Amino acid sequence: MSSKVSRTRQPLPPLAHALDRWAWGLGMVLVAISALLILLGDHSTVRVQSFSWQSSTVGAENTALVLTFNRPMDPDSISADGNLRLTPPLPGRISWAGRRLVYTLDGPAPYGESFTLSLTEARDRLAKPGSNNFEPFLGNFESRDRAFAYIGTEGDEQGRLVLVNLSQKGAQTLLTPANLTVLDFEPYPLGDRLLFSAIPTQDALTGVLDPTLYTVTTGLLPRPPQDPIAIQQAPAAPSNAAPGTITEVLSGGEYQLLAFDLAPNGRILVVQRVNKSDPNDFGAWVLSEDQDLHRLSTEPGGEFLIAPDSETLLMLQGQGTAIIPLNAATTGEAEQLDFLPEFGRVFDLSSDGTTAAMVDFNQNNPDRRFTESLVLVNNQGEETEVLNVDGGISDAQFDPTNQIVYALASRVLPGEDYQEQPFLAAVNLDSQTMVELLTLPPQTQATMAVAPDGLALLFTTIDLSSNAATGEPIWLLPLFTTTADRFAAKPTPTTPQPLPYQGLQPTWLP
């Protein structure tokens, strides 16, 4: 009892408890280790922690690569025309976001090439002058294969999808079987699959037209980079390597499929269908990855196109073009976002979704009756006429940098017989200057497709005056003669090269 009293009354000697002694001991040891660590100095190296495009396959939509460093860096120690080197060269600009260096390309990387990126020296922000503790970095990536698909017209290829890979010496692959006749097709965003509508070949002979939608794998397996600064992540890397694997997407049933469009993100599909037994039951339906097929509650319309944001639909309705939100299908109310009454056709939208290339038939302008105008309409409602012809405008496409619009149009030849002569023109959107790239023979019908890297286009022609619709090859037209022209967005007329393939609707894989 007495010892207890003395323990509570008298102050304890310092470090009386085991815990006190151990705690002070550990504290001293830790202080000593800290001092030692500080005295021994910095032994770490500054290095590139990650490179967003390492070992991946980039496409035209990948416009910026990101290098993440392990330390905050001195921005002045890295320059685009100095120590940061891309081989072959890809011009671009450097910007910084904290420890990330973002290199934005001036234009898409040319397809079918392998690139290396090297950074030999750099300094972190706190480096002492003269210190060299940077670990040189070497990265590599490649661009997607330069490839296109077409619907064959000759021999074995008749009515079948054919894939041509120009990056593999033009190797051809028959994707669909002979018992299906392909009517239309569209590639998925990574080019790993094609969406196509087809009918059984025996029905093609009897004239019954009840198409089914399928997908087919192309055998191309790009590895898309995970872009750390992108708002929308790239689609998941495909896994099926065998080309020609067919999956049914949507069969006709009680409806007949008329047209379809695949959203640029590959996740939403809009189809136009009509009830086989009730022609009044006609309209657009939406099929998305996470939802079953449902009707888009809007007025029936004509041609349609899904915008680059994959969330809005442009559809010809009555005398103009309506802009309809696609997600309205889920909420049940499709309120039109806008209606452009003057424009009868939409050909293309710029990849940033801000500008549409449309046709004005000039019906409200008596002076310009019977002419057609190609008009660019931006999201501010500003309209710019870039081309006016007395024939017709049959197609217009933006180049991937949105600096040029290519148009396939025709003019009426003087003379007693009415004859139209098609031509291919390129309009630089900055300078509003037009260059005629190619003039085609009179009375031909042509189609065109601009390559995803914007370096060439494919076109086909059909002679309307002769009945034989076959025999014409697919043509390749290079658009630039020098790299300087390319970055100045100045296409130059060149001689088209015939490719050893015959078919319809040649379409580049993205």
SS (H, E, C) 279-335: CCCEEEEEEECCEEEEECCCCCCCCEEECCCCCEEEEEECCEEEEEECCHHHHCCCC
> Binding residue for other proteins (CB under 8 A) from 74, 77, 118, 125?
125
Structure-token pair, residue 122: 């750099």
C-alpha to C-alpha distances, 79 to 73, 116, 133, 288, 397, nearest whole angstrom? 12, 16, 18, 44, 35
37 scored as a contact of other proteins (CB under 8 A)? yes
Q: What is the dihedral of CA 86, 89, 92, 96, to 10 degrees?
A: 10
17 scored as a contact of other proteins (CB under 8 A)? yes
As beta bridge partners, residue 168 has none
Site for other proteins in 42-61 (CB under 8 A): 42-45, 47, 49-50
**Cβ proximity of 186 and 194 under 8 Å:** yes
> Binding residue for other proteins (CB under 8 A) from 98, 155, 279, 332?
98
41 scored as a contact of other proteins (CB under 8 A)? yes
Question: If phi over 0 gives left and psi between -120 and 50 gives alpha, with beta otherwise, what is residue 86?
Answer: beta
Comparison of 23 and 208: residue with beta carbon closer to other proteins: 23
Comparison of 141 and 304: residue with beta carbon closer to other proteins: 141
Comparison of 49 and 433: residue with beta carbon closer to other proteins: 49
Count of residues interacting with other proteins (CB under 8 A):
35
Comparison of 18 and 205: residue with beta carbon closer to other proteins: 18
18 scored as a contact of other proteins (CB under 8 A)? yes
> Binding residue for other proteins (CB under 8 A) from 135, 335, 436, 485?
135
One character per residue 140-179, x = contact with other proteins (rule: CB under 8 A) = ----------------------------------------
CB of 77 to other proteins, least distance (A): 16
C-alpha to C-alpha distances, 316 to 302, 340, 480, nearest whole angstrom? 5, 9, 34
CB of 33 to other proteins, least distance (A): 5
Residues 6+ apart with CB under 8 A from 134: 45, 46, 47, 121, 122, 123, 124
Comparison of 66 and 389: residue with beta carbon closer to other proteins: 66
Peptide linkage before 325 cis (omega within 30 of 0)? no
d(C-alpha 144, C-alpha 509), whole Å: 9
Comparison of 9 and 17: residue with beta carbon closer to other proteins: 17
One character per residue 198-237, x = contact with other proteins (rule: CB under 8 A) = ------------------------------x---------
Q: Say whether 34 sits in a helix, a strand or coil.
A: helix
Return the range that interacts with other proteins (CB under 8 A); candidates 80-88, 93-101, 260-268, 409-417.
Answer: 93-101
Comparison of 33 and 469: residue with beta carbon closer to other proteins: 33
> Binding residue for other proteins (CB under 8 A) from 5, 38, 242, 484?
38
**Cβ proximity of 112 and 146 under 8 Å:** yes
Structure-token pair, residue 334: 């499709």
Q: What are phi and psi of 89, to 5 degrees?
A: -65, 140
26 scored as a contact of other proteins (CB under 8 A)? yes
Comparison of 34 and 470: residue with beta carbon closer to other proteins: 34
Return the range that interacts with other proteins (CB under 8 A); candidates 15-23, 192-200, 261-269, 276-284.
Answer: 15-23
What is the per-residue DSSP string for 89-109? Answer: ---EEEEEETTEEEEEESSPP
**Cβ proximity of 283 and 296 under 8 Å:** yes
Binding residues (CB under 8 A) for other proteins: these are 17-20, 22-23, 26-27, 30-31, 33-34, 37-38, 40-45, 47, 49-50, 68, 70-72, 97-100, 125-126, 135, 228
